[in-house]
Structure 1
């Protein structure tokens, strides 16, 4: 079951690129789809407890950790790009070192989060501003859930490493194990043993560590010929650590900006009233649905672009970019068409509240347009992550946020919620235009490959 090491191809043509793009993307899309299933089970299990504070506490606590752990998603992205390039060069030692270094970095950050958890939880729950009863339950959830921080971050590193080597099916396996174990333990602890918020949190902690054990087992099985000189290199490779930290540092800033953009959207929606807030929450589920497919192809792009750059295969790089563009636009077009044709029916599935349905329907046009307008941003992120050029991602994200998103929101306030959606869409388009400009310039100059890349080309 565990993947063996195989030397990457030295050249990839257009038809091969299209095939590999889909072969890598579909397990990633399926693994993305498994994520909301866990949320549904958590809601259903806790929602049947006698007091609503339990459901509110789990919701509030889960929201806190979604933002906290998402902020460290750079551990997956940075590991994917660097590993893909090392794999493309056929540099087995570098591939091994990257796994060890990413895991050590994840462990260090995870332990730091545990050490800081009293302050992080207090600040986070204060910002989320729940009722005293709900906040008390959320604190119970958070104090238990924080124990899984090293496992969650290490799983990010493992998933990024496997993806960089082109094994997206392992990602699917790990996600299925995590969510299946989590769901079964939810039922055991809450329904079977009579636990409440603490049972849901404990289920997540156990599932995260079992997933980590599985991922490490697969990695060790794949590399059962490890030798001490290679393992020792994990600790004394200062240059490798500097590059890993440089890549991840820029991705961290970029992710914080993206988190702020979503948090700002939620906060401004809330200021427009409870019905508006609820309608926006429903419509953001459409954005989430579209992201499952677009993210799948973006992640596949990270792996294939990194491998082509590592192999110094410029025609293959261009073939991968074209294949990624074709698949991404097809997925975006299908998503927009589905939202256009059955958007009102989907809203009805998501809420029974007539006022929320009507309001969400009045803003539906924004999420119909979103996939087509956002597809380029997902695609370009995948290209730049695979090419390990995160500074361009960071700089264009900051520019889009402060030069487009916030000014457009300020000017469009008289339009109410339409103005808020306009600002959010403008932010998305600005990300695509700015990063696309950087990409196009590099494409025309042929500067995606450095002299070092060409010298390192595998024989």
Structure 2
């Protein structure tokens, strides 16, 4: 059996070596979304395009509510790896994949109840609902694979195997694009074709992920240690950590739903302008996730090995890179953001509205850094309660801030979003002393 990767030295070079594959892989995520939109958009079927957009919102909310299968797995795996507990590393993988497959199967079984409720809540109506239902029903077929793949990705991140996650991400996205073209353009399946293509790509990704973990840890990886796999305390900890992370994720999803509603309140033009600018913010977040995910792994290893010094060094090094790239992203966005706006929309009114608040959107790359990085720190430390409380408080404060800033119009919407990152960072930062205290200093050398 090939042992899991040994922890790398905590140097700037090793941090960047671990982060760049994540950054590159993450950039493919919005690109696939653009291809999905273009494939169905070029058919000229406006109802199908709108239905896919509505369906994506539903699927993202439902599937990502179970994103703890990725995040919780990263922290727990990194800590077991830091302790040198190889049997637990393998058992965690087995538990995570089994949990993902089981939850995904439950979603498939419950979709007849979930989909009508979701469509009613979003109130699309008519042909829009019909197209969204076709897309969502097809996507649900991939739910077990998607959630099982979350667990595999989290396990690989926990071990620092970011190059493996890169090729898996690229392979899944390439297959997704190929199936979209086949089902939509060749077979004329419309919205259902886009959903089915993504679902099949998720099953391909799960298969490739299983191959990857077997190559890394040996044929017994998914079987784990039988006693360890069924250990009640380990399952209890897995779901305790993940329950808090799930609440945290739902709170943040609610925040962004409120943000979308805030834009809609200002009219169609401003809503469209905010959507264009959120593509810019999404790129920031995806790229800077490279350092947040690296922090998850490095912090988890430091906590598992019981080294407060390594914990602080991991935070400092990932923080340096995050802040540097965040500042660079803000500068580039201010300088070139207008060109991106022109690329994404031809509507003059939308272009003008987006340019008015572009500087505030660009600031998200810098203002959001502490919140995104501390998220990674507390995920790696499996401090789910801190993540949960920070997300709930930040969301509540954000809603209050948005209400107070409504007289400022579009500027108020973006200022409230920036404030939400500040609230989350401050709340998580307040938990740092307790985190440091929980990790013992190594004994002095004789």
TM-score (norm 1): 0.92
**Alignment map for 1:254-293 (pairs within 5 Å):** 254-293=248-287
1:340 has 2:334 as partner? yes
**CA deviation profile, 1:269-292 (whole Å, cap 9, x unmatched):** 112100110111111111111112
Q: Provide the residue aligned with 1:442 in structure 2.
A: 434
- Tell me what 1:189 maps to: 183
Alignment match, 2:417: 424
In 2, the alpha carbon distance for the partners of 1:392 and 1:313 equals 20
Equivalent residue in structure 2 for 1:362, among 356, 362, 383: 356
Given that 2:91 and 2:221 are in contact with CA atoms closer than 8 Å, whether structure 1 keeps it comes out as: no
Question: CA contact under 8 A between 1:101 and 1:234: conserved in structure 2?
Answer: no
Instruction: After TM superposition, give the deviation of residue 225 of structure 1 in Å.
Output: 5.5
1:227-242 equivalences under 5 Å are: 230-242=224-236
- Looking at structure 1, the residues matched to 223 and 412 of structure 2 have their Cα atoms a distance apart, in angstroms, of 59
Could you tell me how far 1:437 is from its partner in structure 2? 2.1
Deviation by residue 1:158-184 (Cα, 9 ceiling, x = unmatched): 000011011011111111111111111
Q: Deviations over 1:4-60 (max 9, x none)?
A: 424635x94xxx431221111111111111112222222222112243212122222
> Structure 2 CA distance, aligned partners of 1:236 and 1:40?
42
Distance across 1 between alignment mates of 2:387 and 2:34: 33
> 1:268: Cα distance to partner?
1.7
Q: CA deviation at 1:115?
A: 1.6
Partner in structure 2 of residue 243 of structure 1 = 237
Q: Which runs of 4+ in 1 moved over 6 A?
A: none
Cα shift at 1:432:
0.7
1:104 CA drift (Å): 1.5
**1:396–1:431 CA contact under 8 A, matched in 2:** yes
1:320 aligns to 2:314 (yes or no):
yes
Unmatched runs of 5 consecutive residues or more in structure 1: none
Q: State the superposition RMSD in angstroms.
A: 2.0
1:187 and 1:309, CA in 2 relative to 1: closer, same or farther beyond 3 A? same
Report the equivalent of 1:19.
13
- Rounded to whole Å, the distance in 2 between the matches of 1:174 and 1:203 is 17
- TM-superposition CA deviations, 1:246-277 (whole Å, max 9, x none): 11000000001100000001012112100110
Structure 2: state its 5+ residue gaps.
none
CA distance in structure 1 between the aligned counterparts of 2:223 and 2:32, rounded to whole angstroms: 42
Q: Deviations over 1:227-250 (max 9, x none)?
A: 999441354211110110011000
Q: Tell me if structure 2 keeps the 8 A contact 1:33–1:292.
A: yes
Once the two structures are overlaid, the 10-residue window that deviates more, 40-49 or 297-306, is 40-49
Check conservation: 1:18, 1:320, Cα contact below 8 A: no
Identify the residue that residue 81 of structure 1 maps to in structure 2. 75
Q: Which of 205, 219, 238 is residue 199 of structure 2 equivalent to? A: 205
Deviation at 1:223, TM superposition (A): 2.7
Question: Aligned residues, how many?
Answer: 443
